[in-house]
A and B are shown apart, each in its own frame.
Chain A
Amino acid sequence: MLELSGVTTGYGRTMVVHDVDLTVPDGALTAVLGHNGAGKTTLLRAVLGLLPVRGGTVRLAGEDVTALAPHKRVRRGIAYVPQGQQSFGQLSARENLQVVADAHGRAGRRRTDEALDLFPALRELLGRQAGLLSGGQRQQLAIARALVTGPRLLVLDEPVEGIQPNVVTEIYDAISTLTAAGSLSVLLVEQHIGYAVEHAAEFAVLTSGRVAHRGQGGGEGASADARKALAL
């Protein structure tokens, strides 16, 4: 589904991510782990096109999308849940979903309903201003909003960072539900090993913007392997 080869990117003259190769196979979950400042968010911004790459290519389902604007990549099936529970703060929760659905016609409206089925608690909050929702509510809204675009690949940047434990479970359950059908691929960035390594087919550990370690997720030794690579 997604194939990064030799991706190098950064801010101004400072390169933060160096020569990263990474793939997300169709229907699989690939995890990227790394400490604060390792360059995880930077890498994801390059995948979306929010940050231009200085070298390398980004391919989506075989198509080279390296030169495409972010909204065009989204049209081709990448959805993004950025770090930090972002929303259109002054729009209502409903408008947050509508504004994305507008761009996707009838399918957008259908997918709005499906996304709300995944997070039923959101239905009660639709009239509220998004910026005034709690962090957990805003994150559920953010995932719902991403799903309205009708993704083939869901890109999640630390989706449970700073969120209380019972909502964490809800969010992880939702991700599992989404991937269970096997038609959605996921690129998941995490600092914590738990869910990511358990559910990933493959994971990569990013250290100072380089892939320092690769491993297979799921199996017995996976989390010990990841723990060691992260020097925890």
Chain B
Amino acid sequence: MDIIAQLFAGLSLGSVLLLAALGLSLTFGQMGVINMAHGEFMMAGAYTAFVVQGVVGDAGVSLLLALPLGFVVGGLLGLLLEATLIHRMYRRPLDTLLVTWGVALVLQQVARDVFGAPNVDVRAPAWLSGAVQIGGLALPRTRLFILTLAIVCVVALALALRATPLGRRIRAVVQNRDLAEASGISSRATDRVTFFIGSGLAGVAGVALTLLGSIGPTLGTNYIVDAFLVVVAGGIGQIKGTVIAATALGLMQSFFEYSTTASVAKVLVFVTIVAFLQLRPQGLVSVRTRSLA
């Protein structure tokens, strides 16, 4: 029984990591942008849920409204950042890292000024309170909701990339920017859309996080490193890898925690990933191609 409980805890943690990392698998994995403000886009999504609840009142309705709105808020922040700063430094990852880190700090301060430094709470809707009982095991409804949301987001993103004109365009620009331009495709416009979607997913993740506890201006800092780890371990540019890595990290953390403590588990997970990347620097899932182009 214990094992199943740990398994569920791990999957649940994995789904949170996955939501945090999914957008990064686009902006970092596909576009190669190290956006340290990704966590703050999550934070913005969380505060979007807070504001919407203040306006709407009903927790259920506000959650369902906040998910798409969080996407738009995160997406617009990303778009703004891309259009003003990031696009100037596409070939300079270190500059991007420093600048977006600065932006992250600014966004945290803005949140502090607008919403105050103390954490705030977003009420979960009644239909997500309590737990589902399965054979003596209590699975919290909020956790099940986040698990489902993560699956929905992954499937939606995978389908959008695989089967829509926009998805084709994004993949083409990522693979060969010059060739895309020389085929009549605007790479700048495509970059903006890609960044919008990736940042929007951070917003959705932020909304989901309000179900797990109170939120504050530094919410994003708790997730940013793990999210990058997931994308790197999964294999850059591969959604499949991101899914596997997030799940594996969640499970590892959960099972290590079971036998040690949370912070020791964290260290163990970190060491495992570093060791794994020594053996397989390209990550779990790597690209199969004959020529680079």
Contacts and interface: CB of A to CB of B under 8 A. Distances in A.
Interface in A44-93: 48-50, 69-71, 74-75, 80, 82, 84-91
A146 B171 contact: no
A88 B177 CA distance: 9
Given A90-B289, A91-B168, A71 B184 contact: yes
A214 B289 CA distance: 41
Contacts of A104: 184
B168 A102 contact: yes
A71 B189 CA distance: 11
Nearest to B166: A102
Interface string A26-50: 0000000000000000000000111
A215 interface: no
A167 B115 CA distance: 67
A179 interface: no
Contact of A99 (B185, B288, B291): B185
B183 interface: yes
- Centre residue among B179, B182, B293 by max chain A CB count within 10 A: B182
Assign chain B's interface to a size class: 20 to 34
B268 interface: no
A131 B288 CA distance: 8
A71 B169 contact: no
A70 B181 contact: yes
Contacts of A129: 288-289
B165 interface: yes
A212 interface: no
Nearest to A132: B290
Contact of A149 (B175, B184, B291): B184
Interface string A138-165: 1000000110010000000000000000
Nearest to B188: A69
Interface of B: 165, 168-169, 171-172, 175-176, 178-188, 287-293
B181 A69 contact: yes
B289 A100 contact: no
Interface string A109-134: 00000000000000000000101110
Interface residues of A, number: 34
A48 B182 contact: yes
9 contacts: A71-B183, A80-B182, A95-B168, A98-B165, A100-B183, A102-B168, A129-B288, A129-B289, A149-B184
Contact of B183 (A74, A84, A132): A74
Given A99-B168, A131-B290, A88 B175 contact: yes
Contacts of B289: 89-90, 129, 131-132
A196 to B, nearest CB: 21
Interface in A153-186: none
B292 A89 contact: yes
A75 B181 CA distance: 10
- Centre residue among B165, B288, B289, B291 by max chain A CB count within 10 A: B291
B290 A149 contact: no
A156 B180 CA distance: 16
Contact of B185 (A82, A91, A95, A103): A103
A149 B288 CA distance: 28
Contacts of B183: 71, 74, 80, 99-100, 103, 145-146, 149
Contact of B171 (A82, A88, A132): A88
A87 B184 contact: no
A71 B187 contact: yes
B176 A88 contact: yes
Contacts of B178: 50, 70, 82
Contacts of A84: 291, 293
Contact of A102 (B165, B176, B292): B165
B184 A74 contact: yes
B291 A131 contact: yes
Given A82-B179, A99-B169, A99-B172, A89 B293 contact: yes
A142 to B, nearest CB: 9
A70 B182 contact: yes
Contacts of B288: 129, 131-132
Contacts of A82: 178-179, 182
A99 B176 CA distance: 12
Contact of B179 (A88, A90, A103, A149): A88
